[in-house]
Structure 1
């Protein structure tokens, strides 16, 4: 297995140097340590046929993959993230998952996501390209961002297998058997999701419908900061009729305008709770996420979180400092 670590990286810009190194092996993203001058990380990478296994150990920090990190021409890759040690919060596709040891969450690397470790953390990533994954899990988009608990279905058995392989087990797999082991692993993960994620077969949409829905979500996420974003501009941007757009989005059960507002509030709340954004005013944060009225932001934030933005920020930063 290949080993990368922060040892030897310049102390003054260790997190930034680590982000540059990490991008050469995994994906481009920002690392924001909880304590600016204290940041250590280690990444072990192994390969099992079409599967890449990566074991990431991190100090308490935030990891963010922004739209600016994502190339439209890059291959679509999916990561199954196993919280092997510690706890974390993962935000993706409008969902927020609180992860404890043994939990899984699925991530589409072609879309933005945010990951915050609550303690020193070990995360194991099972990375596979979209074409390969869809052989085992035809509609992965419906599971992105959704937590699969350690007690759900077969997730406990899958977690044990992933943990063993990422801890050095890959090296012991005979080269001639790697493809077979990879297939078995992906079949196990697929069964864990289809039996434990709470989505009945009768509720599953076709792969094409889910892909179309996902394309709309991707467009919204890419343009969330635009104050002019609306169903009308989305329809124009994707070159589809408003009626078709509503039909594609409707299976989620949430109206498009409500989804846009919720996602903006979630991104504002995330930045308000981060020490990295402490120097920015609430208005700056709100307006950077597409709000153009401080009063509207305050009212809708209070309705969603049960607190005024200022109180929310103060309480979250106090918890982090404790």
Structure 2
């Protein structure tokens, strides 16, 4: 079987069985996952037809394969391994349904939001169930890309790395961000974030101490990314403070301040600026012209209108009313 080459992985490829006759859909799916991943042996289901979609997108030397499918079983046999020219790891972010991974006498299960890793160099079985519609983002990791990050040759059974008590939530967050943003980001940005993800996985598999891990530059980058996302999700909460965010992130308040300082700002400044940006967008939104300025300010977490007006003027060199009037004037002129 012709497998996808390293050059092919640098671009996007897609397979969709909806375009194939029902009696040929499963065979087409089998061909697709063998090209996107490596030689695999999926087992056909009793139901007629097999609606599935496979998309692969290059991430530096690796790739992310997004797969939507119904319940079924996938195996990697000794013959599949012998026919493969390269070894890799599969780092799977489960998006919908459940998957049980059986390898080397061990079984782990992945539910939505969890991340697990297993080795293409050993036989395995993937039992995809709890459908009917299942989805996974599987990161194709060249073996050497992870091995070189580890202090000794790896010898591990499948592991649910998102369970790591310190970096597990960062692994899951980084995998989710990379999966969600890969199509919009540049090749360089994707490659860099993929490297961060691999650094985190390597830390989880081999970290000696929490203190040493916390000082790793890649860990700090991933924590900063997850920290901003955590703050952005809660921008509209009045009284949002460092303590609440630190508890959500499971890091210390001191480390939160340290990461904002590292980025050249403070927690308070970041929150104010993001809230002002959100309010400014709403003030220019024609669908929001009927809403009072005060209501928009309160929606974005400001509890004092005069404070909002003062900070808005300082940021945009005009009052919220002038900002809005400029937008309404443009709307009227275009009508």
Normalized against structure 1, the TM-score is what?
0.55
1:189 aligns with 2:201: yes
- Map Cα deviations across residues 276-311 of structure 1 (whole Å, 9 max, x no partner): xxxxxxxxxxxxxxxxxxxxxxxxxxxxxxxxxxxx
Mark the CA change 1:140 to 1:105 in structure 2 (over 3 Å): closer, same or farther. farther
Flag structure 1 segments of 5+ consecutive residues without an equivalent. 202-322
Aligned residues: 197
Aligned twin of 1:261: none
Match of 2:170 in 1: 157
Change (3 A) 1:189 1:40: same
SS at match of 1:22: helix
Structure 1 equivalent of residue 312 of structure 2: none
Q: Runs of 4+ in structure 1 displaced over 6 angstroms?
A: none
- 2:14 paired residue number: 3
Instruction: Check 1:151–1:133 CA distance in 2 against 1; reply closer, same or farther (3 A cut).
Output: closer
Find the aligned partners of 2:185 and 2:48 in 1 and give their Cα distance: 39
Q: CA deviation at 1:172?
A: 2.5
**How far apart in 1 are the matches of 2:53 and 2:152?**
32
Aligned residue in 1 for 2:53:
42
In the TM superposition, what is the alpha-carbon distance from 1:114 to its structure 2 partner? 0.4
Q: Label 1:135 to 1:3 Cα distance change in 2 as closer, same or farther (>3 A).
A: same
Which protein has the larger Cα radius of gyration, Structure 1 or Structure 2? 2
Alpha-carbon distance in structure 2 between the residues aligned to 1:72 and 1:174 = 33
Which secondary structure state, in structure 2, belongs to the residue aligned with residue 7 of structure 1? helix
Match of 1:91 among 91, 99, 102: 102
The structure showing larger relative contact order (alpha-carbon pairs under 8 Å, at least 6 residues apart) is 1
The equivalent position to 1:179 in structure 2, one of 166, 169, 191, is 191
Counterpart CA distance in 1 for 2:148 and 2:58 is 19
CA contact (8 A) 1:94 1:145 kept: no
Distance 1:111 1:161 in 2: 26
| Per-residue deviation, 1:98 | 2.0
CA deviation after TM superposition for structure 1 residue 62, in Å: 0.8
1:110 paired with 2:121, answer: yes
Computed over aligned residues only, the root mean square deviation of the Cα atoms, in angstroms, reads 2.6
Q: Does the aligned pair in 2 maintain the 1:81–1:126 contact within 8 Å?
A: yes
Residue in structure 1 matched with residue 9 of structure 2 by the alignment: none
Report the CA distance shift for 1:103/1:117 in structure 2 as closer, same or farther (over 3 A). Answer: same
Residues 94-118 of structure 1: CA distance to partner in whole angstroms, max 9, x if unpaired? 1111222222222211221100111
Q: Could you say if the C-alpha distance between residues 137 and 57 of structure 1 is closer, same or farther in structure 2, counting changes exceeding 3 Å? A: farther
Following TM superposition, by how much is the alpha carbon of 1:15 offset from its aligned partner in structure 2, in angstroms? 1.5
User: Offset of 1:74 from its aligned partner?
Assistant: 1.2
Measure how far apart 1:149 and its partner are.
4.5
> SS in structure 1 opposite 2:24?
helix
Alignment of 1:242-257 (within 5 A): none
Q: Distance in 1 between matches of 2:112 and 2:164?
A: 11
